[in-house]
Amino acid sequence: MAKMIFWYILLILPAIVLGECTCDPEDEDRNKSEALKYKMAALASILVASAIGVCIPVLGKVIPALSPERNFFFIIKAFAAGVILSTGFIHVLPDAFESLTSPCLPEHPWGDFPFCGFVAMVSAMATLMVDTYATSYYNKKNLKNGVVGTEVGDEGGVVHTHSHAHAHGSTTMMVDSNSELLRYRVISQVLELGIIVHSVIIGIALGASESPKTIKPLVAALTFHQFFEGMGLGGCIAQAKLKCREITIMALFFSLTTPVGIAIGLGITNVYDENSPTALIVQGIFDSASAGILIYMALVDFLAADFMNPRMQGNGKLQLGANVSLLLGAGLMSMLAKWA
């Protein structure tokens, strides 16, 4: 489902953001040849950083310290949650607000109602509904098929299933474990959808720009941005215990979204106008929806779930480490807003 929406966004977004300029361009220092060099550098660095970031938490099988069963994994996820939370509040939501309150848009209706906050709120509630209904659906489907427990093999897939009516306590634990695993799989897909929407938009905006002064600071900022965001997604994928093929596909989708967006931006440079009403509305609405998804995922599926975990509650040092890691992740990501 997430992959279908991804391709839909890639196909329709460039077409609907084309339009005639209604405001004067902000950048007067256009230099196509120099801008192209920075775009190529951004494409390569973001691709590498995204791949490294998303792969680090997934390497739990190779590096035992990164395994989801270790306490250190809580530290990594807390850092990632801080990054994702900061991305939603500091990076995406302000961009959406700026787009939907631009003077290039007509005063009515865009000046009469806070569409940015409304779309983010609806997006967060929709994410909750998808989260709960998808988890409920898969649980019912597995119980209907007689699957009450799963064991994960070397490839992260299900090796065999078993049911024992006489072992009620063991069966209950297996059902709970299976439900948790299904929930992590739903979370990883919803989170990737929210990240993909934002990544494509910022990629197109970067690729379409012809101002070296605008692009130059974005190269470093977006490289670190994608690296930290990749760690957050990678941690979620690691807990989902997917098969190697599924992990590879999800990692590739995340790693390629921003570079693909940059490539699309390069292709529409001559006709794209970031100040056209259509472009501003589309970008603002997509950014608002993405912010709602990211904020919900960070607060509910990352922080609330982990910080209320019995392992966290019973370990004071782990709580302190997780809180410091959360603040560090949010702080570093917030600092990048200065250059983004």
How high is the pLDDT of residue 154? Answer: 44
Least confident piece of the model among 2-11, 52-61, 141-150, 324-333: 2-11
- Within 155-243, residue ranges assigned H as helices are 168-208, 212-240
- Tell me the average pLDDT across 277-292: 89
How high is the pLDDT of residue 97? Answer: 93
More reliable by pLDDT, 183 or 326? 326
Percent of the chain clearing pLDDT 70 (strictly above): 79
More reliable by pLDDT, 239 or 146? 239
Mean pLDDT taken over the chain: 79
How high is the pLDDT of residue 332? Answer: 87
Q: Does 180 score more than 60 pLDDT?
A: yes
How high is the pLDDT of residue 145? Answer: 65
Contacts of 193 (CB under 8 A, 6+ apart): 2, 5, 6, 293
More reliable by pLDDT, 207 or 337? 207
> From CA 176, how far away is CA 97, in angstroms rounded?
41
The Cβ of residue 59 has, within 10 Å, a number of other Cβ atoms equal to 14
How high is the pLDDT of residue 149? Answer: 44
- The tokens for 337 are 């807003």
Least confident piece of the model among 11-20, 217-226, 248-257, 276-285: 11-20
> From CA 8, how far away is CA 167, in angstroms rounded?
48
The Cβ of residue 208 has, within 10 Å, a number of other Cβ atoms equal to 24
- The tokens for 312 are 């966290």
- Tell me the average pLDDT across 21-28: 50
Least confident piece of the model among 11-20, 99-108, 124-133, 280-289: 11-20
How high is the pLDDT of residue 17? Answer: 47
CA within 13 Å, CB half, 229: 35
Q: Does 326 score more than 70 pLDDT?
A: yes
- Tell me the average pLDDT across 53-59: 85
> From CA 135, how far away is CA 243, in angstroms rounded?
19
More reliable by pLDDT, 220 or 85? 85
How high is the pLDDT of residue 43? Answer: 92
Q: Does 23 score more than 80 pLDDT?
A: no
Phi, psi for residue 150 in degrees, rounded to 5? -135, 150
> From CA 38, how far away is CA 237, in angstroms rounded?
32
Binned at pLDDT 50, 70 and 90, residue 164 comes out as very low
How high is the pLDDT of residue 259? Answer: 93
Phi, psi for residue 103 in degrees, rounded to 5? -65, -10
How high is the pLDDT of residue 160? Answer: 45
Binned at pLDDT 50, 70 and 90, residue 62 comes out as confident
The Cβ of residue 1 has, within 10 Å, a number of other Cβ atoms equal to 10
More reliable by pLDDT, 33 or 166? 33
How high is the pLDDT of residue 152? Answer: 44
Judge whether 231 and 56 are in contact, CB under 8 Å. Answer: yes
How high is the pLDDT of residue 119? Answer: 95
The Cβ of residue 97 has, within 10 Å, a number of other Cβ atoms equal to 19
More reliable by pLDDT, 182 or 126? 126
What is the three-class DSSP state of 146? coil
Model confidence pTM above 0.85: no
